[in-house]
Amino acid sequence: MENNSLISITDFSTDEILRVLEIAADFEKKPEPHLLDGKVVSTLFFEPSTRTRLSFESAVNRMGGRVIGFSDPNISSVSKGETLKDTIRIVSNYCDLIVMRHPLEGSSRYASEVATVPVVNAGDGAHQHPTQTLLDMYSIKKTQGRLDNINIFMVGDLKYGRTVHSLVQAMAPFNPVFHFVSHQKLRMPNEYKQYLDSKGVKYYEHEQFADLIPEADVIYMTRVQKERFTDQVEYEKTKDFYVLKNSMLANAKPSMKILHPLPRINEISQDVDSNPHAYYFEQAMNGVYARQAVISYVLGLKK
Ligand code: CP
């Protein structure tokens, strides 16, 4: 991790990822309400968010820190034409850490190059969402008892889904088998498949997966992201291509868990919510522990 920023999940070594997951488990067992006394964290959200922003802010508050920032760039001087560079330089003076979400891929890396404090990427376009990955891995370890040898089905928008991009890279050292289930227009980008090839990781691509559910340890559902499409006709064609229903889960392994970074639109039927395989609401709660761990780690308060 250079510059103490976390922009791509590959900024953390595998040992660092495992350490952050241990720290998250410590926070779940034992809150540290004064760890961030005197510290200020800025949350700069140039794109909408519920879970990421609020779980970061909850994490800071639970550790005794203060939060400043915005959830709508239209109420900042960005709306007057101020550049990202100037915004980040100025905000660096007001805080100890910047958490930023932005629609442009590469914007968080750029911010980390001009900031004088660490930057944590809370999602940059269709590129990466590393703290989501840490909470996803935390959820996998907690529910499966391990990270090694997991059979993971990733379903939905694998083209634009930044959460799946980060997750395949982070899980690669743990001998997973990936099943990429998508409409042909929303396939996992070659860049990530080439990454897996270079690491010798097995993956398969499918258009249908109902018959394969008994093989899954984890089904990672994703939303088709309307906001990433330039052609809304393409969105309409693909948005309801996969809907996971209770009736499809009858032969799943007892330990299989359904994850979803959320928000969910139609891709998981509401009747699945009370199924013991559903884990997405608990997964979102794990985001607080994972983000407490990331904040304390990048600030050097936990090693
Ligand atoms: N998972 C996730 O990034 O959710 P939000 O868009 O609500 O932050």
Does the annotation count 101 as an active-site position?
A: yes
SS3 42: strand
Domain ranges for the chain? 31-128, 131-284
Long-range contacts of 270-276 (CB under 8 A, 24+ apart): 271/245, 271/246, 272/244, 272/245, 272/246, 275/246, 275/249
Please identify which of the residues 52, 131, 133, 163 carries the catalytic annotation.
52
Distance of CA 259 to the CA centre of its chain: 11
Q: Write down the CATH superfamily of domain 131-284.
A: Aspartate/ornithine carbamoyltransferase (3.40.50.1370)
Task: Tell me how far the alpha carbon of residue 279 lies from the centroid of ligand 1, in angstroms.
Answer: 16
SS3 123: strand
Tell me if 31-128 shares its fold with 131-284. Answer: yes
Reported as a single tens digit per residue, the pLDDT across 240-281 is: 889 999 999 999 999 999 999 999 999 999 999 999 999 999
Pick the CATH number of 31-128 from 3.30.9.10, 1.10.390.10, 3.60.10.10, 3.40.50.1370: 3.40.50.1370
Does the annotation count 83 as an active-site position?
A: no
The pTM (predicted TM-score) of the whole model is 0.96
Does the annotation count 80 as an active-site position?
A: yes
Amino acid at 204: Y
Phi and psi, residue 144, nearest 5°: -100, -10
Which stretches of the chain are DSSP H helices?
14-29, 51-62, 84-92, 107-114, 130-144, 162-171, 190-198, 232-238, 280-298
Q: Is the CB–ligand 1 distance for residue 50 below 6 Å?
A: yes
Does the annotation count 129 as an active-site position?
A: yes
Per-residue pLDDT of the chain (303 residues; tens, 9 = 90+): 557 999 999 999 999 999 999 999 999 999 999 999 999 999 999 999 999 999 999 999 999 999 999 999 999 999 999 999 999 999 999 999 999 999 999 999 999 999 999 999 999 999 999 999 999 999 999 999 999 999 999 999 999 999 999 999 999 999 999 999 999 999 999 999 999 999 999 999 999 999 999 999 999 999 998 888 888 888 888 888 899 999 999 999 999 999 999 999 999 999 999 999 999 999 999 999 999 999 999 999 999
Task: Tell me how far the alpha carbon of residue 262 lies from the centroid of ligand 1, in angstroms.
Answer: 6
pLDDT of residue 237: 85
**Pairwise CA distance, residues 3 & 1, whole Å:** 7
Specify which residues 40 forms β-bridges with: 66
Q: Which atom of ligand 1 is nearest to the CA of 54?
A: 8
Question: Would you say 66 and 43 are in contact if contact means Cβ atoms under 8 Å apart?
Answer: no
